[in-house]
Amino acid sequence: MFTKLLIANRGEIACRIIRTARRMGLRTIAVHSDADANAQHVAMADVAHRIGPAAPRDSYLRIEAILEAARISGAQAIHPGYGFLSENAAFAEACAAAGLIFVGPPPAAIRAMGGKSQAKALMAEAGVPLVPGYHGEAQDLPTLQSAADSIGYPVLIKASAGGGGKGMRVVESATDFPAALEGAQREARSSFGDDRVLVEKYLTRPRHIEIQVFADTHGNTVSLFERDCSIQRRHQKIIEEAPAPGMTTTMRHAMGEAAIAAARAVNYVGAGTVEFIAEGDSFHFMEMNTRLQVEHPVTEAITGLDLVEWQLRIAAGEPLPLTQNQLGIQGHAIEVRLYAEDPARNFLPSVGTLSHLKLPEGIRIDSGVRPGDTITPDYDPMIAKLIVHAPDRRAALARLSQALAQTEVVGVQTNLPLLRALATHPAFAGGTFDTGLIARHPELLDGTATTPDLALAAAALTILNTRSQSAIIPGDPHSPWSAQDSWRPNLPGHQTLFLRHQGETTEITAHPAPNGGWYLEWDSIQHTAHHDAASLYRLDGTAARATVIAAPPRLTAVLDGANHIIEEIDPHAPPEAASAGAGRVISPIPGRVARLLVQQGDTVAKGQTLLVLEAMKMELPLTAAAPGTVAALRCAEGEMVAEGIELVLLDPA
């Protein structure tokens, strides 16, 4: 076994690999970009090396920089994690040329499965069932359009060289095909450096089921059973579980055998995942990911194994620790991915500082961030993975709901309300879901929660108690003029607060009450409020725990797992500037202008795409809200832009 391991990745997967390597007695070496200089994986590793600026192409995708870090640190092996260079055959070859062990499959296997079209041809030869589609070499529009027409709409365009929903478009009609193809190829080229695509029949009610396989250099290959990854948004998974609900023993055996056949067809070594689309009793090969998967913890939970340890031992030349007959399933596991994104705005990534982060105790948490860390536009916006394990699925769902209720995040928008809604949705709880569950139930995306009186009172108490503890006259805290306790000569003491929440302003009159409490009056109703302890608030005899994070003038009251944004306003302040109108196209997030599709003077129609913004490994088209003429362009192709910046100015028609 080697003794020094470099992890060529970042975030939660780097932290997860470091934990196993440390338990095995290995010395760990981290690499980091400038944006990650103070990241958690850097702090956890024994040694860390800078490899470049924030952009992945200048750091985590720079093979020469990573190999130089390995040379300087004396690393003997490199674990690529997932994403970045994990499925890059050239990187695996470069590691071998440098005398380093690549913790992954042979370059030939990566190449064979990395090109989806080539992989499908191999699978057909191996007898693995396929979805009807075009997997040929020709990539011109007429050929691909003709193939789509022959297959029949809807079809799915997929990047041949990658996964994770990048370079993927669902096309409903022939007229939509050219634009969808162009977008898929551009995104594939940006994400994987390869714009080749394939076209397949789009199944309307499929389940996404994958099989974890492992193979060693001694000719042994096993299946570690299935995971159901059907709960997705933007073609990316957000909930995974094992075993798959409703899976029969016969189908599990058939899918396991097909996955093993796929691995053997390319002389596979190490951890791999064979992904299938299933409808009813039939299943079809989609692709093979030649790396560890984000969702591997649920397989670890039901098998009791450490898959990273298996990877390291196989890379060192050891045989598989167990045979197929020795493997079994214990209980049920579910993993949810907590993302910094806004489901109500088409899952737009959210950038900001995690001013408050509280993750549940008693379950497995895989995370690469800490309170105070910043979610940047450079990388995937995952905050954490929450993994629960229980004797059966019903118990696992109960644990999941409890864990999500205990999770608190302030500073960025998150998909936490969506995860909570999904955990209790009848279709998910009943196991009758497919990949279209979220799309068919738009009510799941409505994370708006009515602001309860207790949340409003907690925010008011936070402001009042902060005021009463502050001193106006520096250096003289005992002066009566330093107190802000509402005292007035010959008049009842009171303070007035104006709090805005959900677009409405509430005027609250506050009078001091005995024992440090307050009488709060709004909407002609007087309440008695008291802040007992760090997180215990009382309103009219009802006590509840809440967390209030203040970043004046905004406060976030976290109550019953929901975030309530409350802002203190000054009624005498001048009116705010008018918001952006239909003629101004504003950047909703920080990102890079991937493509500028109009020029000054162009006439545009309502809904026409003006430019494409790239951030957090995704593309975001920005469109015209109304017809008009391009009066000015405030950005250039390739330029990095900040959130809130005007990008295009339109004169209305």
Nearest to 324 by CA among 224, 216, 244: 224
> Hey, how many other C-beta atoms are within 10 angstroms of the C-beta on 253?
11
Active-site annotation holds for 634: no
- CA distance linking residue 223 with residue 352, whole number of Å: 41
**Dist. CA 183–CA 552, nearest whole Å:** 42
CA atoms of 320 and 220, how far apart (whole Å): 7
Distance CA 322, CA 314 (A): 12
Interaxial angle between packed helices 177-192 and 141-151, expressed in degrees from 0 to 180 and rounded to the nearest 10: 120
Q: CA-CA distance, 582 to 613, in Å (whole number)?
A: 18
Burial class (CB in 10 A: 0-12, 13-18, 19+), 442: exposed
In DSSP terms, 512 is beta-bridged to 518
Is 229 in contact with 294 (CB distance < 8 Å)?
A: no
DSSP 265-320: HTT--EEEEEEEEEETTEEEEEEEE-S--TTHHHHHHHHT--HHHHHHHHHTTPPP
Check if the beta carbon of residue 262 is closer than 8 Å to that of residue 128: yes
Among 10, 196, 233, 291, which one carries the catalytic annotation?
A: 291
The Cα 334–Cα 298 span in angstroms is 6
Residue pair 49/72 in contact (Cβ under 8 Å)? The answer is yes
* Contact present, 243 and 252 (Cβ < 8 Å): yes
Strand boundaries in 8-94, DSSP class E: 27-33, 47-52, 77-79
Q: Read off the DSSP letter of residue 130.
A: B
Nearest alpha-carbon partner for 335 in 399, 260, 424, 247: 399
Q: Which residue in 136, 119, 124, 196 sits closest to 161, CA to CA?
A: 196
Q: Are strands 364-367 and 197-201 parallel, antiparallel or unpaired?
A: unpaired
Query: Residues 296-331, buried b or exposed e (16+ Cβ, 10 A)?
Result: bbbbbbbbebbbbebbbbbbeeeebebeeeebebeb
For 41, 339, 350, 619, 643, the CA distances from 591, given in Å and listed in that order, are 24, 17, 11, 10, 8
**Catalytic machinery residues:** 291
